């Protein structure tokens, strides 16, 4: 475990990260943990794997420097990709979607020859029959990505036998981050707690989220955030949930052809109206034969194509190839 321990130690010691790796359980941090879990130690030999950080101090001259970039171009940790000095020191950049790769190439003029797309992955989710007495919606991502809009839409719809389960907190990025910015979202969380037919869970670890996804019907996500992949959507699809979202960022790439999309609109009143219509339609049609056939195909497809059994082979082959190229 020498190589994995080296990578983990460097991640935990990195003080240039906005949040501590050890305390954070966001999508990219969990992907790193799963990559380390699913690859043998020897796969990381001579590899300096850097997660979402363009700090010059993380470069190692005697290693193959691989930047694994999940962040969008407007996030601070990506800015040094515009620096030729930094780019010249990086051997490879791994992106989590074609959409993110294309945006970085356009914004920073990153050399395509240094880039590869390896999509995110999940551990297989077993299927459980969903309850038929009511429709359960879920929102299981950070609050700034669309919770305010969803709560407004849900209250206006005021539907009988429909509940909204909210698993949202800034604690996902650690207690220090929660102390620094959590107060900014206290109002929306309190509103969730005080709204009829809304069950507010706050922060749940991922195993509990998966258990909940098996029981709910629709991942309701009126996203106003530039998702570069969206693990929450991938896991929801694998658990047999309908995904009702917007086409902003990489969401169409991630969720197509199974997702249901509202065209993103910067006029949020218009966006909420459009989203409300497609959400209502998805609720009404959830149990239709056609939709159930689609969701069965969705579960099978996502659990196979986004499986770590598949993705770990991609990563192993990539690391082997770049070591051979270096020699």
pLDDT digits (tens, 9 = 90+) for 237-293: 999 999 999 999 999 999 999 999 999 999 999 999 999 999 999 999 999 999 999
The stretches of 117-241 forming alpha helices (DSSP H) are: 147-157, 175-181, 186-193, 206-213, 231-238
Residues forming a β-bridge with 66: 49, 92
What pLDDT score was predicted for residue 16?
Answer: 84
What pLDDT score was predicted for residue 174?
Answer: 87
Residue 144 near residue 118, CB atoms below 8 Å: no
- pTM of the prediction? 0.96
Point out the residues of the chain with pLDDT beneath 50: none
Residue 217 near residue 284, CB atoms below 8 Å: no
What pLDDT score was predicted for residue 215?
Answer: 97
DSSP 248-317: -TTHHHHHTTT-EEEPP-SSHHHHHHHHHHHHHHHHHHTTSHHHHHHHHHHHHHHHHHTBHHHHHHHHHH
Backbone angles phi, psi at 139, to 5 degrees: -130, 115
What pLDDT score was predicted for residue 118?
Answer: 98
pLDDT digits (tens, 9 = 90+) for 189-217: 999 999 999 999 999 999 999 999 999 99
Cβ-Cβ contacts under 8 Å for 107 (sequence gap 6 or more): 73, 81, 82
> What 3-state class would DSSP assign to 219?
strand
Residue 213 near residue 138, CB atoms below 8 Å: yes
Q: Six-digit token pair at 76?
A: 């601070």
Q: How far is CA 309 from the centre of its chain?
A: 19
Residue 320 near residue 312, CB atoms below 8 Å: no
Q: What span, in angstroms and rounded, lies between the C-alpha atoms of 45 and 62?
A: 11
Residues forming a β-bridge with 47: 64
Q: Six-digit token pair at 174?
A: 């650690």
> What 3-state class would DSSP assign to 153?
helix
Q: What span, in angstroms and rounded, lies between the C-alpha atoms of 37 and 34?
A: 5
Query: Which residue in the block uniquely carries the two structure tokens 């992907």?
Result: 31
What pLDDT score was predicted for residue 72?
Answer: 96
Q: Domain residues of the chain, as ranges? A: 2-121+307-326, 135-305
Residues forming a β-bridge with 135: 162
Residue 245 near residue 223, CB atoms below 8 Å: yes
What pLDDT score was predicted for residue 1?
Answer: 73
Q: Six-digit token pair at 35?
A: 């990559």
Domain spanning 135-305, CATH architecture: 3-Layer(aba) Sandwich (3.40)
- How many residues make up the chain in this entry? 327
Element (H, E) at 198: strand 198-200
Q: What span, in angstroms and rounded, lies between the C-alpha atoms of 296 and 194?
A: 35
Q: What span, in angstroms and rounded, lies between the C-alpha atoms of 123 and 235?
A: 9
Q: What span, in angstroms and rounded, lies between the C-alpha atoms of 36 and 29?
A: 11
Q: What span, in angstroms and rounded, lies between the C-alpha atoms of 127 and 238?
A: 8
Residue 229 near residue 120, CB atoms below 8 Å: yes
Residue 111 near residue 82, CB atoms below 8 Å: no
């Amino acid at each position: 475990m020498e190589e994995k321990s080296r990578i983990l130690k460097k991640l935990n010691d990195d003080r240039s990260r906005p949040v501590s790796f050890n305390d954070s359980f966001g999508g990219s941090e969990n992907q790193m943990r799963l990559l380390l879990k699913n690859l043998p130690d020897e796969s990381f030999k001579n590899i300096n794997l850097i997660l979402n950080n363009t700090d010059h101090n993380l470069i190692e001259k005697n290693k193959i420097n691989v930047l694994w970039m999940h962040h969008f171009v407007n996030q601070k940790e990506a800015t040094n990709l515009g620096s030729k000095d930094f780019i010249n020191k990086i051997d490879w950049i791994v992106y989590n979607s074609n959409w993110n790769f294309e945006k970085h190439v356009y914004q920073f003029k990153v050399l395509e020859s240094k880039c590869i797309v390896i999509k995110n992955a999940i551990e297989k989710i077993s299927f459980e029959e969903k309850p038929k007495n009511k429709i359960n919606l879920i929102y299981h991502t950070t609050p700034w990505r669309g919770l305010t809009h969803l709560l407004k839409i849900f209250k206006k719809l005021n539907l009988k036998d429909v509940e909204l389960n909210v698993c949202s907190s800034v604690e996902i990025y650690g207690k220090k981050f929660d102390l620094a910015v959590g107060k900014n979202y206290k109002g929306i969380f309190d509103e969730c707690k005080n709204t009829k037919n809304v069950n507010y869970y706050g922060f749940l670890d991922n195993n509990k989220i998966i258990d909940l996804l098996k029981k709910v019907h629709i991942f309701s996500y009126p996203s106003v955030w530039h998702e570069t992949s969206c693990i929450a959507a991938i896991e929801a699809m694998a658990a047999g949930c309908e995904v009702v979202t917007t086409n902003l960022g990489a969401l169409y790439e991630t969720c197509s052809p199974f997702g249901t999309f509202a065209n993103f609109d910067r006029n949020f009143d218009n966006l909420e109206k459009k989203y409300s219509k497609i959400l209502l339609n998805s609720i009404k049609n959830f149990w239709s034969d056609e939709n159930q056939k689609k969701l069965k195909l969705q579960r099978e497809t996502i659990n196979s194509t986004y499986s770590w059994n598949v993705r770990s082979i991609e990563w192993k082959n990539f690391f082997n190839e770049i070591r051979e190229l270096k020699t």
